[in-house]
Amino acid sequence: MSQDRQERCCICGGKIEKGGCDPYPIAEEGRCCHACNWTVVIPKRIELSKRNNERT
Protein backbone atom coordinates (compact mmCIF):
# COMPACT_ATOMS: atom_id res chain seq x y z
CA MET A 1 0.00 0.00 0.00
CA SER A 2 1.32 3.40 -0.93
CA GLN A 3 1.95 6.00 1.76
CA ASP A 4 -0.13 8.50 -0.29
CA ARG A 5 -3.21 6.28 -0.46
CA GLN A 6 -4.62 5.24 2.91
CA GLU A 7 -7.03 2.36 3.06
CA ARG A 8 -10.38 3.18 4.65
CA CYS A 9 -12.54 1.07 6.95
CA CYS A 10 -15.52 -0.40 5.11
CA ILE A 11 -17.68 0.13 8.22
CA CYS A 12 -16.86 3.61 9.57
CA GLY A 13 -14.67 5.06 6.80
CA GLY A 14 -11.78 5.68 9.21
CA LYS A 15 -8.13 5.06 8.52
CA ILE A 16 -6.91 1.44 8.59
CA GLU A 17 -3.60 0.78 10.29
CA LYS A 18 -1.50 -2.40 10.23
CA GLY A 19 -3.55 -4.15 7.57
CA GLY A 20 -6.90 -3.94 9.29
CA CYS A 21 -9.27 -6.81 10.05
CA ASP A 22 -11.73 -9.09 8.26
CA PRO A 23 -15.16 -7.40 8.53
CA TYR A 24 -17.22 -10.59 8.02
CA PRO A 25 -20.18 -10.95 8.87
CA ILE A 26 -20.82 -7.19 8.76
CA ALA A 27 -19.33 -6.81 5.27
CA GLU A 28 -18.11 -9.32 2.73
CA GLU A 29 -15.60 -7.04 0.99
CA GLY A 30 -12.90 -4.66 2.18
CA ARG A 31 -11.16 -4.37 5.52
CA CYS A 32 -12.22 -2.77 8.78
CA CYS A 33 -10.28 -0.82 11.40
CA HIS A 34 -9.40 -2.34 14.76
CA ALA A 35 -11.99 -0.18 16.57
CA CYS A 36 -14.83 -1.49 14.39
CA ASN A 37 -13.49 -5.00 14.71
CA TRP A 38 -13.77 -4.83 18.52
CA THR A 39 -17.02 -2.85 18.75
CA VAL A 40 -19.03 -4.13 15.76
CA VAL A 41 -17.60 -7.27 14.13
CA ILE A 42 -16.63 -9.37 17.16
CA PRO A 43 -19.91 -8.74 19.04
CA LYS A 44 -21.84 -9.78 15.90
CA ARG A 45 -19.75 -12.96 15.58
CA ILE A 46 -20.46 -13.80 19.24
CA GLU A 47 -24.18 -13.17 18.73
CA LEU A 48 -24.26 -15.46 15.69
CA SER A 49 -22.28 -18.13 17.54
CA LYS A 50 -24.72 -18.07 20.44
CA ARG A 51 -27.67 -18.39 18.04
CA ASN A 52 -26.03 -21.39 16.35
CA ASN A 53 -25.34 -23.04 19.72
CA GLU A 54 -28.98 -22.59 20.80
CA ARG A 55 -30.19 -24.45 17.71
CA THR A 56 -28.13 -27.56 18.43
Mean pLDDT, 10 residues at a time, over the chain (56 residues)?
Answer: 70 95 97 98 97 83
Cβ-contact 20, 9 below 8 angstroms:
yes
Whether cis (ω within 30° of 0) applies to the bond prior to 25 is yes
What per-residue confidence (pLDDT) applies to 56? 67
Determine contact, residues 41/23, Cβ cutoff 8 Å: yes
Cβ-contact 5, 21 below 8 angstroms: no
Beta partners for residue 21, in sequence order: 32
Indicate the pTM of the whole model.
0.83
- For residues 20 and 32, the answer to whether their CB atoms sit within 8 Å is yes
